[in-house]
Structure 1
Amino acid sequence: MNLQETVLMQLRDLILRGTFEPGQRLAEQQLAERLGASRTPVRSALVTLEQEGLIEASDTGKYLVRQFTPREVADAIAVRGHLEGMAARLVAEHGVSRQLQGDLQACLEAGDRLLADNPLTLESYAAYAGMNDRFHALILDACGNRALQRAVALNDKLPFAPASAMLPMQGTVALDRDWMLYAHRQHHMLFDALKRGEGTRAQNLAVEHTEVAQMNMRLALERRAESEQVLPAIRLVVG
């Protein structure tokens, strides 16, 4: 298991939960101690988070948490859905090569194995995120439209827009695993549509697939709001 992937997922989850305030500095050593990791995977994860638009570098090179709104995230996810829908349609219309079919099948089988764990572990989440990224990247790479690929790359710089950025985290409710199982069934259905050359169906499935990300976002924000209501009450009691 790639330690960077687990660290990345943990940091992304902490930002979404509101653990860090907008504008707060993220120091490598403190994060490494908090996550029980070395500074190397933390440093690599911070670079990725900057690319995803969750944090930004200050003039002095320090990483700061970026301000983002639920609307900004929802819009970015919606745009990704339509772009990936177009990519899926193009792949279905062009035909799926034997190499692509084998690569996508390997992703699906890996996802099936990972989701067999119940409950899912942090390592399972991280490994599934890697598989999910590869599945989406394979379709995008095979679409043959460079302008579309550049548009996706640009959109991925917005908060929580990339394919795996909104996967739920370990320790959340069982409903999260149900949504992941549902999302992976959509992967299977999309693969079937691609093989059959059903462009319209593949496009619609890819667009619908992002609703899982939208749902995860809504659930995460609901939990964040609940925790923000509980913490002041705890402080009041303790104080």
Structure 2
Amino acid sequence: MSTAVESAVTELRGMIVNGELPISERITESSAGNLLGISRTPARSALSQLESEGLLIKLEGRGYKIRPFSFADLEKATEVRSVLEGIAAGRLASMGPSEEATVAIEKSIAMTEAIISRDAVTKREIAVYQEANEIYHSAIVDTCGNDFVGQSLERIANIPIIAPGAFTEVEGMAQAEMLRMTVGHSQHVIIWDAIRSRDPVRAESMMREHAGAPIRYAKLFIGDGYQRKLMTTGIVNREDVPKT
């Protein structure tokens, strides 16, 4: 994939996930090219890539539309993620972590510990927490000795909230976010302890609980605020929002 296409994919993906493109709008090579200031050729390749990722649906004739996800879709994707990451954690515990994995994971834990020790969090802290989260999960997946785990995760990596390390801020819910981050950090510590102790059963079961938690924990700690945040992205159907 050329640099121009990679850049176009990244920009369009961000626009889709952040709700910057109307979900009902037809997206064509021409409109995407005009939007990004690129020619139709890289725009065509970028749209095809986003279709393969599951973020776009090819329409009859010309163009694409954004694929809306239901809450049920997100829950199913989370279920898959939890199994895959559980396998990675269990394998890493069986093998024993490499020095590379140890450095990355302990760096991540130190970063999140510093954040949850604060009295309050800002957007900056939430961004740092997300970065630390990505470091933690990537280190486990990338060093587990099974490349198919990472390759399989790539398929769902661009669905909002589902990607390993994903974290979404909900405006006005700082205390709830802090609680969710504290729980996540604690689970990271427990999973890492199981991996270092060479306990694959415990590592896998704890990772499955942790990786399968984004939607369940967000509902528990944030509730309707989380649902409203997902609706603002335009990628979740309003009619699919659970009634409260």
Q: Is residue 142 from structure 1 mapped to residue 143 from structure 2 by the alignment?
A: yes
Number of the residue aligned with 2:86: 85
Kept in 1, the 8 Å contact 2:55–2:66? The answer is yes
Q: Deviations over 1:10-58 (max 9, x none)?
A: 978854xxx8752348999xxxxxxxxxxxxxxxxx99xx597556799
Number of the residue aligned with 2:118: 117
Kept in 2, the 8 Å contact 1:190–1:206? The answer is yes
TM-score, with length taken from structure 2: 0.67
Task: Read off the aligned partner of 2:139 and give its amino acid letter.
Answer: L
Number of the residue aligned with 2:168: 168
Task: Read off the aligned partner of 2:214 and give its amino acid letter.
Answer: A
Q: CA deviation at 1:151?
A: 1.1
Q: Is residue 179 from structure 1 mapped to residue 180 from structure 2 by the alignment?
A: yes
Unaligned runs of 5+ in 1: 1-6, 29-45, 229-239
Distance 1:57 1:117 in 2: 47
Kept in 2, the 8 Å contact 1:84–1:140? The answer is yes
Distance 1:126 1:54 in 2: 24
Taking structure 1 as reference, are residues 22 and 131 closer, same or farther at Cα in structure 2, changes over 3 Å only? same
Distance 2:207 2:25 in 1: 36
Task: Read off the aligned partner of 2:200 and give its amino acid letter.
Answer: G
Number of the residue aligned with 2:227: 221
Distance 1:123 1:172 in 2: 15
Q: Alignment length, in residue pairs?
A: 206
Task: Read off the aligned partner of 1:171 and give its amino acid letter.
Answer: E
Give 1 or 2: higher helix fraction: 1
Taking structure 1 as reference, are residues 125 and 91 closer, same or farther at Cα in structure 2, changes over 3 Å only? same
Task: Read off the aligned partner of 1:210 and give its amino acid letter.
Answer: A
**RMSD (CA atoms):** 4.0
TM-score, with length taken from structure 1: 0.68
Distance 2:184 2:69 in 1: 25
Q: Deviations over 1:138-163 (max 9, x none)?
A: 00011111222211112324443202
Taking structure 1 as reference, are residues 72 and 84 closer, same or farther at Cα in structure 2, changes over 3 Å only? same
Unaligned runs of 5+ in 2: 1-10, 33-45, 232-237, 239-244
Kept in 1, the 8 Å contact 2:89–2:207? The answer is yes
Taking structure 1 as reference, are residues 181 and 62 closer, same or farther at Cα in structure 2, changes over 3 Å only? farther
User: SS state of the match for residue 155, structure 1?
Assistant: coil
Distance 2:97 2:138 in 1: 14
